[in-house]
A and B are shown apart, each in its own frame.
Chain A
Amino acid sequence: MNITLDADKCCAAGQCVLIAPEVFDQRDEDGIVVLLDAAPPADQHDAVREAAAICPAAVIKVDE
């Protein structure tokens, strides 16, 4: 799995952080998404797919 972000579009809703906190975080200064692990281990994959599915601004792109 390889994750890329289009952080310019991020609206800082924060759901990715709630769903996959080991993969996503938010920047302290403005809450914009930060990628902690672009190629997370298999046990994170479901959470990452879920975060991508509900991201309101379609920021998270997952290649498998």
Chain B
Amino acid sequence: MTPSPASPATAAAPALPVQPPQGCPFDPPAEFARLRTEAPLSKISLPDGTEAWLATRYADIRAILGDTRFSSDTTRPGYPLSGMTGGATTEHRGFIRMDPPEHTRLRRMVTREFMVKRVEAMRPEIQRLTDELCDAMEKRAGQDVDLIEALALPVPSLVISLLLGVPYDDHELFQRLTGTLLSRTVTDAERESARAELRAYLHQLVSAKEAAPGDDILGRLIAEQQVPGEITHDDVVAFAALLLIAGHETTANMIGLSALTLMRDRETADRLRAEPALIRGAVEELLRFHSIIRNGPRRAATEDIEIGGQLIRAGEGVVVAVPSANRDPEVFADPDALDVCRPNAQHHVAFGYGIHQCLGQALARVELQVVIGTLLRRFPEMRPAVPVDEIPFRSDMAIYGCHTLPVTW
């Protein structure tokens, strides 16, 4: 792409780049490479006509996300909310949209639930759920199976429902509603209606647990935080909605993209099958390579702050391009190559950086390690059932991935 000539001061800034290059569905927008060199902090215009800064360099992005003078509070002046689609909506203002000290207070109420050793203790259960779903897939050999619907979505969905304490009788409803939220074959109205129904469901679930708190995240929040008056019913519902959405769509899309990548890269797949110990590192590299958070995180500057030589003024918004940071050649050698033995893959910012870094990352890692390892082992012949250019990629969504992924074996 050639750089555009200097535009008149009145011309609108370009929109946030979202389209992968032609024929390269796994790559971030090509524009990021030019911006990193020529204008690592540049102005973009948002769909509502306002402007925000776009950060594209790894070092600047870590500096921004690691600095609490950049606020996560969506109600602050200049917060670049416009143009966020997909899972990220404003309807539940959970702690990810707050600053310290409120953010710290609420986040710490659930940090122990996602501790490494607690999540590791769930590994056998996650393996069992994955095996059951793979058993069901095996019975459909010879047919085209949508891997998103058959595996990528149900694994995180079942795990989240287990953590939240969704009663077994409600699983079908829960699965249907979360499936509708991810689907592209439904209309906007149907998706909105599913969102409303899910919200109503979560209210009802929290109310039921208020009557009889069980041994699950919501039960513990009610008994230990709501009963003593630290938080309200609505706060518990917001926790439920946040954990549901944050840990669900993201993991589902990572599973889909990772499976597709390894189906197309036989050499790497064979290597991982031969040396399963490499899967841990491969998951980090897949997180870096795919960087599914495509138009965020976002912040609002609360004072004038210089980043990479550029002054960002108080009240200005910043959009951080995670896919660009994770392909920055200053940090990752040959960044557009997938190298499952890359020594510094775990330096990626796919889970964000700073105090808001993904709380569920240990869980996401275990889910990805289990599912990818199991797929490689049990379905060595699996391949896409359609040409890659017929796979509907989520270029239109805040979280990248495949809407559907037909496979056969």
Interface residues of A, Cβ cutoff 8 Å to B: 9, 11-15, 17-19, 26-32, 50, 53-54, 56-58
Contact = CB atoms under 8 A, between A and B. Distances in A.
Interface of B: 65-66, 107-108, 111-112, 114-117, 346-347, 351-359, 361-362, 365
Contact of B114 (A9, A14, A29): A14
Nearest to B119: A14
B108 to A, nearest CB: 5
Contact of A30 (B108, B117, B357): B108
Nearest to B108: A30
Contacts of A26: 112, 115-117
Given A17-B116, A26-B116, A56 B357 contact: yes
B111 A32 contact: yes
B355 A56 contact: yes
Given A13-B358, A13-B359, A18-B362, A56 B353 contact: yes
A53 B356 CA distance: 17
Contact of A14 (B65, B66, B116): B116
B114 A31 contact: yes
Contacts of A14: 114-116, 361-362
B112 A30 contact: yes
A29 B112 contact: yes
A54 B354 CA distance: 10
Contacts of A28: 112, 115
Contacts, number: 66
A15 B346 contact: yes
A54 B358 CA distance: 13
B354 A31 contact: no
A32 B347 CA distance: 21
A56 B355 CA distance: 6
A19 B116 CA distance: 11
A61 to B, nearest CB: 15
A53 B106 CA distance: 26
A29 B116 CA distance: 13
A13 to B, nearest CB: 5
A26 B112 CA distance: 9
A30 B358 CA distance: 16
Contacts of A31: 111-112, 114-115
Contacts of B346: 15, 19, 50, 54
Contact of A56 (B112, B115, B117, B354): B354
B116 A18 contact: yes
Contacts of B352: 56
A58 B66 contact: yes
Contacts of A58: 66
Nearest to B355: A11
A23 B248 CA distance: 31
A15 B119 CA distance: 13
B345 to A, nearest CB: 11
Contact of B359 (A12, A15, A19): A12
Nearest to B358: A13
Contacts of B351: 13
B276 to A, nearest CB: 17
Contacts of A19: 346
